[in-house]
Chains A and B, each alone.
Chain A
Amino acid sequence: DSGVTQTPKHLITATGQRVTLRCSPRSGDLSVYWYQQSLDQGLQFLIQYYNGEERAKGNILERFSAQQFPDLHSELNLSSLELGDSALYFCASSVGLPNTGELFFGEGSRLTVL
């Protein structure tokens, strides 16, 4: 158990809908990262927050948005869903900025868009 909690674990929805994925980082971790992993693909970096502020953006679509709240949990909002958005979405956390290389990953939220 990494200490990172993601909900929901599984989500099935239809095209055009909107979903919210939630992540609670490990106790004491200030940084939260979101990654997307499509079937048999690598981990695509979406966005990173540090202590409530957005710090880095990757290949995140405009239909996607995220935020980190004062209690450090984070939410990833996916809207106008398309079939291609079906993927495993991972949240990870680290104590500070990622210069130590160690991220702790949650179990992921598996999104299926039908």
Chain B
Amino acid sequence: GQSLEQPSEVTAVEGAIVQINCTYQTSGFYGLSWYQQHDGGAPTFLSYNALDGLEETGRFSSFLSRSDSYGYLLLQELQMKDSASYFCAVGGYQKVTFGTGTKLQVIP
């Protein structure tokens, strides 16, 4: 089966940097994705790592270590609008399994 662990809640100050960690156990691993979901909204894709290393997309970066079954999402220059839930997800051959989500609260 597949399981993912991430912190349930994180609070950070506007303008700061926050890192959301994700550890996973899976078979048939293709890559690690990150999604953002605002309350009541649809999840939206942020990034994908298939290989070890750092991927940068604007203020967001994502890291993967396949040997450690670990990844993280790094959000820089936090803005109030970044307050949302963030999900890591493991892509396998047949399906994408999501973690339980990390609720990020950005405070002034």
| Residues of A near any B CB (own CB < 8 A) | 2, 33, 35, 41-43, 45, 48, 55-56, 58, 90, 92, 97-108
Contacts and interface: CB of A to CB of B under 8 A. Distances in A.
Interface residues of B, number: 25
Contacts of B42: 2, 90, 105-108
B1 to A, nearest CB: 10
Interface string B67-108: 000000000000000000001010111111111110000000
Interface of B: 30-33, 35, 41-45, 48, 50, 87, 89, 91-101
Contacts of B95: 33, 45, 48, 55-56, 58, 98
Among A2, A42, A90, the most chain B Cβ lie within 10 Å of the Cβ of A42
Given A42-B99, A42-B101, A45-B96, A98 B43 contact: no
Given A101-B30, A101-B48, A105-B42, A43 B94 contact: no
Contact of A98 (B30, B32, B41, B99): B30
Contacts of A100: 30-31, 48, 91
A90 B43 contact: yes
Among A35, A101, A108, the most chain B Cβ lie within 10 Å of the Cβ of A101
A108 B42 CA distance: 7
Contacts of B101: 42-43
Contacts of A105: 42-44
A105 B98 CA distance: 13
Contact of A97 (B33, B43, B93): B93
Contacts of B41: 107
Contacts of A103: 33, 35, 43, 45, 96
In the A-B complex, the 10 residue pairs with the closest CB atoms: A101-B48, A56-B94, A101-B33, A42-B100, A43-B98, A56-B95, A105-B42, A99-B30, A101-B91, A98-B96
Contacts of A98: 30, 91-96
